Amino acid sequence: MNGPLQPPIRTILLVLGAALMALGFLWPLLSRYLGRLPGDIVVRRGGWTLAFPIATCVVLSLLMSLLLWVFRR
């Protein structure tokens, strides 16, 4: 059922699991830099806070697009 270019599902799951573990270990470092980018909008009024992480979403989208482009080649 797997074609010559399709890796087995276990390989995909192992790679995704390793990537999630690496992200988990690097989260304290990443949150320090990706949490408060210029362009992120935070509104604090009274007893509530509303955050619009626009710049963070754009950066993460660009990184994910780059990774997908690299892995599809």
- DSSP line for 9-30: HHHHHHHHHHHHHHHHHHHHHH
Higher pLDDT, 2 or 64: 64
Asked if the model's pLDDT at residue 65 lies above 90, the reply is: yes
pLDDT digits (tens, 9 = 90+) for 8-58: 888 888 888 898 898 888 878 877 766 677 888 888 998 998 888 888 888
Between CA 36 and CA 13 the distance in angstroms is 31
Between CA 33 and CA 36 the distance in angstroms is 7
The residues spanned by each domain of the chain are 1-34, 37-73
Max intra-chain CA distance, the chain = 60
CA distance readout (Å), 23 to 6, 28, 54:
25, 9, 21
- The answer to whether the predicted template modeling score (pTM) of the entire model surpasses 0.75 is no
pLDDT of residue 56: 80
